[in-house]
Every structure is written in C-alpha cells, then in structure tokens.
Structure 1
C-alpha cells in the first residue's frame, strides 16, 4: 500500500461541488490489472466538465478527473506489461467514471495502456494527449477518403485539438486554415503553421457555398460545422470531433449528394486499441508536431484549478500539462 496525492471533486448536499487535493492510498483505487505511477497528465475540456459536476461526463462523486495519464507501471497482472514499463493511457473510462489522471497513481485494465513509443518522452506524450490523438484521428480519417493535400480548415484552432491539428497538417504538407474568434491569436496560429486565419463565419441560408477547402476538422459543431460542410470541394470531407458551440447543426443533403462530401465522426475515447497504437507510433515519428513546447504550460497539481476554470471559460490557449512527480 502506498500513499499519494490526488484532486478530489466532491458533491455537496446543496448540489454544489468542491475541489481539494487529498491524501489517499492505493487501496482507495479500483482493483485492476495495472497499477501505474503517473508522471504527467494533461488538461482537456472534458476534464473541466467532470471537475465542475457535469453528470453527462461523470455520474457519481466523489471523483478524480483526468482522461489522460502517462507513467510507469508499478505492478502488473498482465503478461503484456511488466513493472518499469512506460505507458500512455487515454480514453476508455479513465477520468470519467473511473478515477483519473489528476492523481499520482491510477489503476486500470491492461488493454487501456499503450506502450510509450520510441521517439516520445512521457512529457511529450501528454502535451499531445487526447487532444493530439483526436487531431490525428481526424487527419487519418480524412486521408482514408483521399484528402491528402490542399487547404484544410480547422475550427476552434486555439484549443488543444485545433492547435495540434494545425501543427500536424503543416508537417504533413497540407495548407492549414485556422478558424478562431480570438483575433489576438493570429500570430500564434501562424507560428504553429496556419497559412491563413479566419475570424468570422456568418450564418448562411444557402444550401451550398463556394467550395474552398479539401477538408475540414471541426471541434465546435453548430452553424460553424454547417458552413464548413457547404464549402468543401467535391469528394472532400469534414471530421467532426466536438460540440463546444452546439451539438445541433442545420444542413441539407445537397453537399452530400451533389458534391459527394463525407461527414466523418471521431470518438477518441472508444476507438480501437490497435488504431490508437498505430497513431501513437506515427505521433512519435513522422506525424510528431514541431514546437510542442511552444504551445504548452506545465503546472503542478496544486496549480491546476485556475487552469480548469480558464479552459471551462473558453480562455485557454494551447495545452496544459500536469506534472505529478
């Protein structure tokens, strides 16, 4: 049995939620195949929802959020892993209804863990995290339908998924077009590799608009997704992975039947383990974003809460990594 620190969110009798860093023991964790000492985690929008009592993400409290973790195996009941192995854990139920990565230890099933690939440090893997993995899934799906070059528009470009997508697209030879309402972020987005930054996209009732983009990666949903679909070139597609603006969007069938557009859904949490492992290998090598350190702020567990409030308010820029060791 080992003592450790973790962030604990508690639901109060009046329906409010409180957060505190508490001392726990490994006996407080669920019994699973792997006990992992967490070196780093990362902050995602879903973590902010869980940390502030969103029952659509986390059903029961008290709870420790953190959908990402990277660290070293302490004990293993699996033939696939041994103590000392370095691993990445993203998605599945981690940090949602299973105690998550904002903790010095986690306990998870063996198939949730992916060996840290050569070419990535534990810290780099959490800069990428679920956000970067999701961006990679979007690009991979676009490539599957033949979108392998040209202009790709990315909405929510200053967020974790968006900024990662901009960097990866640039490295892979695309022309990333960033969409962000944050006018102060223009230079930052161009430094990441965006060839153009768009600040506004008015609602347009037309069923089709002038085709401008080979593909799109949408993190916000709503009328932004509708407008992006209307501007995709024939036989292109849009990968949809978020709904920060709205889960609803208004569209006709015309882009799909007159231009052959594909709408590609991306769910990083329940993606197959083999697909995740393949993409992590690419992210450690030919898809590895440059300038990772330039989009990253690393904080301690004690410094995390202001960052949770900031990402919940839509004011976060780039990635926040949590150092647990």
Structure 2
C-alpha cells in the first residue's frame, strides 16, 4: 500500500520541523578553503532558496577570530542546534513494526530526492551526500556540510581543475561520470578512451562490492553496459553534474538495507529497485526516478 501525505499532514510536518531548532549553537573552526566554501554556500542557501530551513542546516552566521599568540585564523560559526532526540537513520531488519519501518525508510528517501530536486532547480551541487552529511530528526532528513559544494555557474576551467584534480575509486557515492572527470583531469587527458572507461567501471564495481553494494554478476554486467554506452556517447559529462547528488542518495539508501536473508520483503523490493535505477541511471532523470518510486506497492 502506498504511503501518502495529506495536506493537513504537510502542515503538521512543517510545524514539527520548525520546533526542532529552538536554539542555536556556536563553534570555533579553522579558516581553510573548505570552511570558507561552507560559509559561502550556506549564505547562498539562506539568501536564495525559499524555506531552506525545511531541508538544509547551513551556517547561519559567522565572524573571524584571531588569537594574539597564534597566527592561525579561526572562524566562530553559528548554526541551529539539533534537537536532542536527533540521530542517524538506520534500517533494522528485525523490527517488529514493519509498517513504521517502511514508512520511515520510504518517506525519508522521497524527502531526500525532493531536496535533490530543489538543488537541481538552483544548479547547486552538494558533491558529498553521505551518512555523515545528513541529519535525521524524527526520521526527517536535513543536509548539512557544504564544504565541497559548488554552483554550476561557477565551473570555470580553473574551478574544474580543483574539483576534479584527484581520482579516488573509493568514492562510490559519486557516479562513474565523476570518476572519469577526475581521472582525465589528474592524468592530463582530453577525453577517455575505451580502455580508460573499462578500467574506471571495473574499479568502481570492485570498491562498491567492498563497501556493501551487493552487485551480482548480472548486475555488474548491466552496470558496465549502461555506463559504457553513456560515457562513450556523452561529450558533455560535466553538464550532468546536477544529477550526481540524487545518485549519492540512491547509493546511501542501498547501503542502509542489511544484506541478510532476514531483511523484510518490502525492503528487499526497494533495494532491488534502487540497484536497478543505479544500473540504468544515465537514462533516468530525477523526475523519472521519483515517479517510479511512487509506483512501488507494498
């Protein structure tokens, strides 16, 4: 049965969201390129994205601090304080309340994809959506830490050289197109050859399996087929960077489901769906994925 949200529930949910942050908290951080980027993108979110507090946890304010006996500069930042009951979301395959577990998992996934849709609208790329950059408050997800984020309009040649300067196959939360860009940038290539594409995809599969993505032999074959076609025929890979965050969300939610014979049937169904979307992702838009997700019947 599909879980739906009624208008009065939306209003209640918004009221609950606003009650999560009664106070602010201050902390001292070092002044680095990453912390400055976090502040700059936080300012963008606050100024440009309506109702940002329903989706993001940006730095609300900041001021520079310098100690007399220390040449290292610091920044005093202010953020909304997380509700004391907040915690990371996880799936318990032995839960006695199947309906509640399904509701929490399914709706938090839909909410994150909604946030990705908002970021796409503003061509805002987080670039680091993982378990440690999402806070769940009563099962409602909020994205934070914008230290590696960027705006598509800021992608000059110099900026690309910085963002994609280092290839690391362990970053499976980002799609193969990201890895290709990093590999050719690091090695000074103009475009990837077939050998490079084959190497990148195999390395991706190896690291994905090591990190708990249970690709079967059939899955691996389909993954290579779909991504090889996409990477070989797409000359503007960097322009698709606004889709990367949704990919990261899908990977995260695949990893949240325990890979055991005991996990619940509806979670297995979602997991198989997510793996299928990841395998075919180059041909699916975020809009397509959200529609397909709503067709799942439990």
TM range (shorter): under 0.3
What TM-score results when the alignment is normalised by the length of structure 2? 0.24
Structure that is richer in helix per residue: 2
Q: Flag the structure with higher strand content.
A: 1
